């Protein structure tokens, strides 16, 4: 197993640091109910998460259903209103995450969040969960014109942390994370416990290793 020098570790948020699916599902189903559409099971909403909020709303309206572009546009602020109301309410930190962040900081590594979630939800959620203090940079889905799987957010996080991409390590849960990291030249590990957008099994995704618990990140790093 390769051991990475990793001066910086970049973390995806939804499905990697935080189990946010209950709140995302409440936001989606609040929106669907208000629009007079049938609500969806949490398991289905799982597979819609990973490419940002606009994609989540689109998939929620069009999977085995029909919605016009105008209806999709109009639904976005409805979702945002419902999600803002519940963001963090039933969210939990995955086992091992806080200890991992503590250890990485104690080792002097710089940490960032790189998430497709919008800034308006990312920042209050990190604060609510008591995680803000760990991160020197937070790159959200609306920080740049592009989102994961494009590499720019990952490149931007490395620049903010003043670390060469090859000296960083990305931890994510979906193909969007692995594609973005690969294209940015950052090694990438995927957690087995996240949402894996599109329901793609993580074993089938090109990455540098799989983690059953965030603490296993430490096993992939060179000591310092
Ligand atoms: O908002 C999303 O779709 C997913 O966010 P993530 O990039 O933190 O997994
Ligand atoms: Mg994710």
Output the pLDDT for position 200: 86
Query: Which one of the ligands is nearest to 180 CA?
Result: 1
Contact between 206 and 155 (Cβ < 8 Å):
no
pLDDT tens digits for range 59-115: 999 999 999 999 999 999 999 999 999 999 999 999 999 999 999 999 999 999 999
Verdict on whether the full-model pTM lies above 0.80: yes
From 10, 19, 51, mutation site for ligand 1 pocket: most ligand atoms within 8 A of C-beta:
51
Atom of ligand 1 nearest to the CA of 49: 3
Distance of CA 114 from the midpoint of ligand 1 (Å):
9
For the CA of 114, the nearest ligand: 1
Q: For ligand 1, what atom is nearest to the CA of residue 116?
A: 7
Q: Is the pLDDT of residue 198 over 90?
A: no
* Predicted interface score ipTM higher than 0.85: yes
- Ligand 1: which residue has its CA nearest to atom 4? 50
Q: How far is the CA of 56 from the centre of ligand 2 (A)?
A: 12
| Residue 219 is assigned to a ligand binding site | no
pLDDT in tens, 149-183: 999 999 999 999 999 999 999 999 999 999 999 99
Domain boundaries, the chain: 8-20+91-220, 21-86
Ligand 1 midpoint to CA 117 (Å): 5
Is 12 an active-site residue? yes
Q: Per-residue DSSP letters for 159-221?
A: HHHT--GGGEEEEESSHHHHHHHHHHT--EEEESSS--GGG--GGGS--S-EESSGGGGGGGB
Pocket of ligand 1 (CB under 6 A): 12-15, 49-53, 56, 115-117, 141, 148
Whether residue 196 is predicted with pLDDT greater than 90 in this model: the reply is no
Assign domain 8-20+91-220 one CATH number from 3.40.50.1000, 3.30.70.100, 3.40.140.10, 3.30.70.990. 3.40.50.1000
For residues 26-54, average pLDDT: 96
Number of the ligand closest to the Cα of 59: 1
In this prediction, residue 2 has a pLDDT band, given cuts at 50, 70 and 90, of confident
Q: Is 14 annotated as a binding residue?
A: yes
Question: Per residue in 112-151, pLDDT tens?
Answer: 999 999 999 999 999 999 999 999 999 999 999 999 999 9
* Nearest in space to 114 (alpha carbons), one of 141, 75, 88: 141
pLDDT at 199 over 90: no
Taking a C-beta distance cutoff of 8 angstroms, is the pair 56, 28 a contact? yes
123 is in an annotated binding site: no
Query: What is the atom index within ligand 1 of the atom nearest the CA of 48?
Result: 3
CATH ID of 21-86, from 3.50.50.60, 2.40.50.140, 1.10.150.240, 1.10.3720.10: 1.10.150.240
Q: In angstroms, what is the span from residue 68 Cα to ligand 2's centroid? A: 27
């Amino acid at each position: 197993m390769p051991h990475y020098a990793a001066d910086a570790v970049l973390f995806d948020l939804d499905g990697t640091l935080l189990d946010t699916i209950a709140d995302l599902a409440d936001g989606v189903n609040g929106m669907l109910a208000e629009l007079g559409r049938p609500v969806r099971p949490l398991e289905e909403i799982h597979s819609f998460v990973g490419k940002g909020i606009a994609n989540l709303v689109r998939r929620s309206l069009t999977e085995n259903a029909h919605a016009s572009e105008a209806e999709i546009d109009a639904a976005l602020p409805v979702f945002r209103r419902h999600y803002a109301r519940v963001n963090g309410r039933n969210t939990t930190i995955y086992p091992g995450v806080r200890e991992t962040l503590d250890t990485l900081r104690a080792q002097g590594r710089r940490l960032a969040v790189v998430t497709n979630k919008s800034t308006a939800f990312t920042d209050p959620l990190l604060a609510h969960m008591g995680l803000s203090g760990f991160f020197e940079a937070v790159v959200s889905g609306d920080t740049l014109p592009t989102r994961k799987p494009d590499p720019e957010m990952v490149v931007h996080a490395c620049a903010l942390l003043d670390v060469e991409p090859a000296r960083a390590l990305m931890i994510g849960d979906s193909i969007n994370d692995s594609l973005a990291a690969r294209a940015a030249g950052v090694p990438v590990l995927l957690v087995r416990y996240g949402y894996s957008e599109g329901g793609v099994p993580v074993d089938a995704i090109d990455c540098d290793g799989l983690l059953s618990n965030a603490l296993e990140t430490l096993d992939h790093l060179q000591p310092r």
